[in-house]
Structure 1
Amino acid sequence: MDIIKELLSELESEMAISRKMLALVPEDRFDWAPHPKSMTLKRLATHLAEIPAWFTLAVDQDVLDFNEGSYQPTPIKSNADLLALLEKSYHTGKSALERLPEALLDKPWIMRGGEAVYLDTTKYGMIRHAFSQTIHHRAQLGVFLRLLDIPIPGSYGPSADEMG
């Protein structure tokens, strides 16, 4: 089995679903959140659009330390900006996967915040984590959209909106 080829195929499938969902995010509700502890719709959608680029973290680094660096979400002003960010992230992530030698998939990889270790895995595990994060946050986005009475598309089959 060609694992990289399989990961690239999965990336294509997941991006098609993410494109459909992100296309529905209403600009006039960017600042809305369903609960004070929830991200805003804009922040959640931006986060989802950035995740495909995480593959570069697995390919180019062995450790991600949140205490180093000063991450800021990509500024988004419109739905078009959001979709452009997804495409940029997708191409960045795809390029990283394409240049990853399969032999490095089992190399250790760690996500930490200083001394606190959040994820101790392999490069392959980090790639799987990024896919899981995509699915998780896309499902959150589906709930947000549902709460705003926006019909949602199916992800792995038809949604209740598509079934009538």
Structure 2
Amino acid sequence: MEITNMENFLEYYGKIRQRTNRLIAVIPPKYMDWAYKPGKFTIADQIRHIAAIERYMFAETILGNSCTYNGCGKELADGYDNVIHYFNEKHEEALAIFKSLSNEDLQRKCLTPGNAPITVWKWLRAMTEHEIHHRAQLYIYLNLLDVKTPPMFGLSSEEIIQNNHSK
């Protein structure tokens, strides 16, 4: 799907972020440094990664700058409150950049970190896919920890099946 209108994109992207925020809100602080095995992203790493990539890779390259993403470790933010603050702060910084784009800007090219030219609207679409990908990983992490997670779109699969059986 081609993105041709920044206002519509920002509304859509806001809904993507609302779903991510609903999931992050149920993370128990005691699990922020948990990973399913050594050497893999922790829950906090996942959250910092979404924020840092949005701001320092996607937003910077859309501006015509080089990618300045440099990882997602604890040096960026440590502890539950600090990680959430970092996540929100980097999102607001990126949004300010995205809000400055015109509909015409969506059709120009920017360079990925691999120096491949890409149309800005396609790069924005990739950014949303990236967030959704990491949100899915957070769902799996939390399910492994038996943390009840919010359904994506209202009802869970089990609730839909139950409703169909009760008719």
TM-score after normalising by structure 2: 0.77
Q: Which runs of 5+ in 2 are unaligned?
A: 163-167
Q: Is the contact made by 1:145 and 1:152 (CA closer than 8 Å) also made in structure 2?
A: yes
Question: Match for 1:8 among 7, 10, 15?
Answer: 10
Once the two structures are TM-superposed, the CA of residue 130 in structure 1 deviates from its matched residue by 0.8
Partner of 2:59: 56
Amino acid at match of 1:34: Y
Q: In the alignment, what sits opposite 2:82?
A: 81
Larger radius of gyration: 2
Amino acid at match of 1:71: N
Are the equivalent residues in 1 in contact too, given 2:109–2:120 (CA < 8 A)? Answer: yes
Q: Which residue of 2 aligns with 1:19?
A: 21
**Percent identity (aligned):** 21
Letter of the 1:12 counterpart: G
Once the two structures are superposed, the pairs formed by residues 139-158 of structure 1 within 5 Å of their partners are: 139-158=136-155
Query: Taking structure 1 as the reference length, what is the TM-score of the superposition?
Result: 0.78
User: Aligned partners of 2:159, 2:80: CA distance in 1, in Å?
Assistant: 23
Higher normalized strand content (fraction of residues): 1
* Aligned-CA RMSD value: 2.7
For residue 161 of structure 1, report the CA deviation from its aligned partner. Answer: 8.0
Name the count of aligned residue pairs. Answer: 156
Aligned to 1:71: 70
Larger displacement relative to structure 2 (23-32 or 40-49): 23-32
Q: Which runs of 4+ in 1 moved over 3 A?
A: 49-52, 159-164
Which segments of 5 or more consecutive residues in structure 1 lack a partner in the other structure?
A: none
